[in-house]
Amino acid sequence: MLKKLQRNSRNNKKGFTLVELLAVIVILAIIAAIAVPIITNVLSSQREQANIQDALNIIHAAKLYDAENGVENGSGKDGGLSLSDLSKYIGHTSDTSSNIKVTSSNGVYSISGHKANSISGINNPATEQDLVNKSNR
């Protein structure tokens, strides 16, 4: 009886062999090698788009400031509008740098000192049109 039980236990071994486990690990490593760079690129692109949209929101806040204060042709304040000037019009901004300025000339608004200015292909200061063009790509 004991010999019969031992024989059955040898035949009923269940589990994975080392080769099967290695094959799964290799497949997972290949998938990770493909997925990680793609995810990194997507995150970087989305961060860039968020910075551009944040800069556009600040420019739109400057337009509201000018409209409420009866400023024509978007002249704003001398030296430009800072974030503290626009705090009433901006709920939240991801870039809290104190040197952000929005200036305008003949109705063309530009922003300087923002994270969006460091994105390649955007001038410093970046005009609203520069930001919109980069956002649409």
pLDDT tens readout for residues 31-49: 999 999 999 999 999 999 9
Nearest one of 55, 71, 66, 22 to 123, comparing CA atoms: 55
| Alpha-carbon torsion (100, 52, 66, 96), positive or negative | negative
Domain total in the chain: 1
Q: Supply the range of the domain harboring residue 128.
A: 22-135
pLDDT, mean of residues 9-18: 74
Whether 14 maps to a domain, the answer reads no
Whether 85 maps to a domain, the answer reads yes
What φ, ψ does residue 96 adopt, rounded to 5°? -100, 20
Whether 94 maps to a domain, the answer reads yes
pTM of the model: 0.73
pLDDT band at 137 (very low <50, low <70, confident <90, very high): confident
Whether 105 maps to a domain, the answer reads yes
Whether 75 maps to a domain, the answer reads yes
Amino acid at residue number 97: S
Cα distances (Å, whole numbers) of residue 113 to 17, 30, 35, 44, 57: 60, 42, 34, 20, 15
CA distance 61 to 48: 20
Report the chain's mean pLDDT, rounded to a whole number: 84
> Is the pLDDT confidence value at 135 over 70?
yes
Whether 77 maps to a domain, the answer reads yes
Residue 61 is predicted with a pLDDT of 92
